[in-house]
Amino acid sequence: MRRALALAAMGPAYGPNPRVGCVLLDPGGRMVAEGFHRGAGTPHAEAAALAAARASGVDPRGTTAVVTLEPCAHQGRTGPCADALIEAGVAIVHVAVADPNPVATGGADRLRAAGIEVTTGTLAGEGEELLRPWLHAVRTGRPYVTLKLATSLDGRVAAADGTSRWITGPQARAHAHTVRAQVDAIAVGSGTALTDDPSLTARTVDGGLFEHQPLRVVLGRRAVPDDARLRGPGGPLLQLPEHDLDAALRQLAEREVRHLLVEGGPTLATALLAADAVDELHAYVAPVLLGAGATAVGDLGVTTIGEAARFATHDMTRLGDDVLLVARRARSEGAAPHAHTQPALAQPAQTGRPSRHTKEEI
């Protein structure tokens, strides 16, 4: 299963489909073929592994399939994986994670009905971690939201005069672009779009564009100018004139956005945090002290320490002189954001001048 998980991780993190890996073992336990899903419209992992076995002259009849996600039972761009395993004569199937997608689930039952031995939950924790954004989106009906912040040690995103380039260093900025290249969409507020004129592209170290460019989303009613960089090379542009965060997130989910990266300024960050709509924080912190200037987050309505929005540290990485802290919201996957969702573009209370910093380059 660990090999199957490693294979799955080779597939694209973005896109509507999950990353899945499959390993075929002969009756003696030797690996005879493997496969992984390479993206929408390509063969699923099970079909890829079966094809690899046949291409190498191996009859898959009687083999054991080790799969990271329950084989699907529906007809999409490709046929049901459960049927492919049945027709191939596979004898045993081990699964890490059950498929929560109501459209695709039922593969394990179909396999059992055909007389195939099926076990589920093998390295389930590792499988859940690999599929975290996709599973969250399928289970909740809204994208997995990652909020990116880039601040000084004292929590500032810009100096008193509004300047912010560069708080963080080149390694942190390069890392942020690799994250952009792995998500489905990047969002900013319309105020940020107008003030900073960001391009919101995923760029390589030499300034070129990654092959995958995420959907560029602007939240708010102010129009994006015709000559804005958001209309230039990069991913498609979508403007959502929604002031209801929950409605905006559900609209993105309907467009099959599984993972949303938010890079807007303090207004949007504050609204998302106040609505308990942030699943993961990427906080790039530079060893810089400004003492004044715009803060990363505005008033969250917290009046006592017991009301603080708390996250659990998942990982810490040094990037040159800077540090990236990855933290996750401490709530169950199925929990919905608070009912008192604030308007996405409500102006938070701030001290100092408004920030011109939208994390365009971090």
Domains and CATH numbers, the chain: 2-130 (3.40.140.10), 143-329 (3.40.430.10)
- Convert the pLDDT of each residue in 261-320 to its tens digit: 999 788 899 999 999 999 999 999 999 999 998 899 998 888 899 888 899 999 999 999
SS3 of residue 149 by DSSP: strand
| pLDDT reported for residue 331 | 58
pTM for this entry:
0.87
The predicted structure's pLDDT at residue 104: 65
- Whether 18 contacts 70, CB under 8 Å: no
Residue reference for tokens 């909020």: 147
Burial class (CB in 10 A: 0-12, 13-18, 19+), 176: buried
Do the bridges between strand 280-285 and strand 144-151 make them parallel or antiparallel, or are there none, so unpaired? parallel
Q: Which residue has the tokens 């990654």?
A: 210
Beta bridge partners, 299, equal none
Catalytic residue flag (residue 361) = no
C-alpha torsion sign, points 294, 300, 306, 311: negative
* Secondary structure letter of residue 73 according to DSSP: -
Q: Which of 46, 70, 263, 361 is catalytic?
A: 46
Q: Which residues of the chain have pLDDT under 50?
A: 332-362
235: Cα separation from own chain's centroid: 16
Instruction: Please check whether residue 312 is in contact with residue 328, taking contact to mean a CB–CB distance below 8 angstroms.
Output: yes
> Which of 329, 313, 281, 319 has the alpha carbon at shortest distance from 149?
281
What integer pLDDT is reported at residue 244 of this predicted model? 86
The pLDDT value recorded for residue 67 is 98
Angle at alpha carbon of residue 134, lines to 87 and 262, rounded to 5° = 155
Picking from 99, 46, 68, 55, the residue whose alpha carbon sits closest to that of residue 2 is 68
